[in-house]
Amino acid sequence: MATISFSPKDQYNAFITTLNEAESGPGALSGIPVAVKDNISTRGIPTTCGSRILEGYVPPYDAHVVTLLKKAGAAIVGKSNMDEFGMGTTTENSAFGPTKNPADPSRVPGGSSGGSAAAVASGMVRMALGTDTGGSIRCPAAFCGIVGHKPTYGRVSRYGLIAYANSLEQIGPMARSVSDISLLMEVLTKYDPRDSTAVDCHYSHTPDPEIRGLKIGVPEEFFGEGVDPRVASAVWDGITLLERKGAEIVTCRMPSMAYALAAYYVTCTSEASSNLARFDGVRYGPPADTKLPWHEAFQQRRQSGFGTEVKRRIMLGTFALSSGYYGKYYAKAQAARQQVRNDFLHLFRTVDVIAGPTMPTVAFRLGEKTDPLSMYLSDILTVPANLAGIPSISVPCGKSEGLPVGLQIMGPHFRDERVIDVAYAFEQGVSR
């Protein structure tokens, strides 16, 4: 067992908590510093979810993925900044201040795993863990110019992840290279019976850049209204590179894209309303004022402990689940979600993977987007993969306005290896 010193110059506010020294043992990740997003439980290390309501909370146990990192010899050097409870696209919703993008400190790093992305992109760590509920790994990966992978739902245990929207979120790897993503996937995919949604499907794979004959579907809807033409051009250049490497490009349609964003936000806010009910000032974080009647203390603690965006989503979800509205909103959202799944199943009968932009624009300026609706629209290209539970990776594919652009590659359930192979083929093609 070795001890690694860690004293980063965190000029990007990438971390909420850092450890001056971290232990590293033998294994596949021996000596490698790794950042862990602050909604993943770490025994003896504060875990806040970027929220004041969990200030001072120190978990008594490790998440399954943290146990696996330690067994592989990784040195966990800190907890990375994030949008509060994973609710955001910029990491500006953190109670501990916004994270800055290393590609341009005047820009957001993306969210909600912005701290993990910034820590990797700036070189403070080689790898990081993020979580992805509607694009929270892939968005910051695209904005910061790194690689981020959302695994198939169920392939990585969520035991020890502080829940936001259980049916959507997934823990996944972030790194500067596809090879490191593959290495982390091999560590993270050990089966865990404590997670009832986990599937015993271990990843053991060496990325293969040979994609000759592979069929890549490109849905027209991924280049529709709201996608910056300069971003679209950079992504098409990336797709053309894959074609030159022998892949066949197939243009296709995905009609359910018209409903995906609405279905996602009704679903995730409804689940958040239920999940965040446990934060009552009694069991976690600073205590409520016990001199008040319980319902008043409960209300006061949540009002002061939760940020604006979290309160907004709790109220939206509570409304969608309320009597008389469940059928109008939540039930319809689930029907639309099924249409998204069906569209992917239909497409994967004729193509091997699907490609398009990760984000419709490059990283915007800090403080630029204050309207919640415009912020939510930024997730339009990432949420379909979460609704369907399929694997999706973002890999850097050039720049627009001098800022990174991400190419998103999606594949069928449990075909993470195929998705990673295509990303690796692209990465190798760019580097030569």
Confidence (pLDDT) at 218:
98
d(CA 187, CA 84): 27
Going from the C-alpha of 184 to that of each of 102, 175, 226, 254, the distances in angstroms are 23, 9, 34, 31
- The helix/strand count (H/E) of the chain reads as 12, 13
Q: Which two tokens stand for residue 165?
A: 């929207």
Distance of alpha carbon 123 from alpha carbon 144, whole angstroms: 12
**Which position among 24, 37, 94, 190 bears the catalytic label?**
37
- How far apart CA 357 and CA 379 sit, in angstroms, is 11
The predicted structure's pLDDT at residue 1: 79
Q: Is the peptide bond before 122 cis (omega within 30 degrees of 0)?
A: no
pLDDT digits 0-9 by tens, 1-17:
789 899 889 999 999 99
- Known catalytic residue at 311: no
Distance from first CA to last CA of the chain, Å, rounded?
38
Q: What are the distances in angstroms from CA 226 to CA 207, 374, 377, 379?
A: 33, 10, 8, 11
Q: Of 41, 51, 94, 112, which one is the catalytic site residue? A: 112
pLDDT of residue 294: 76
Query: What span, in angstroms and rounded, lies between the C-alpha atoms of 8 and 18?
Result: 9
Between CA 35 and CA 19 the distance in angstroms is: 10
Catalytically annotated residue among 113, 116, 136, 177: 136
Beta strands in 49-187 (DSSP E): 75-80, 127-132, 147-150, 170-175
Does residue 136 carry a catalytic annotation? yes
| 149: β partners | 393
The closest alpha carbon to 249, from 209, 218, 212, 211, belongs to: 218
Q: Give residue for tokens 């991400």.
A: 406
Predicted local confidence at residue 291, as pLDDT: 80
Q: Cα(382)–Cα(385) distance, rounded to whole angstroms?
A: 6
For the segment 218-265, what is each residue's pLDDT rounded down to a tens digit? Answer: 999 999 999 999 999 999 999 999 999 999 999 999 999 999 999 999
The whole-number pLDDT of residue 432 equals 63
Q: What is the pLDDT, as a whole number, of residue 296?
A: 84
Domains and their CATH numbers in the chain: 2-188 (3.90.1300.10)
| Positions of the chain with pLDDT lower than 50, given as ranges | none
Q: Are 353 and 413 in contact (CB under 8 A)?
A: no
In eight-state DSSP terms, residue 363 is P
**DSSP line for 137-154:** THHHHHHHT-EEEEPPTT
Token pair, residue 115, equals 């701290």
Assess whether 112 carries a catalytic annotation: yes
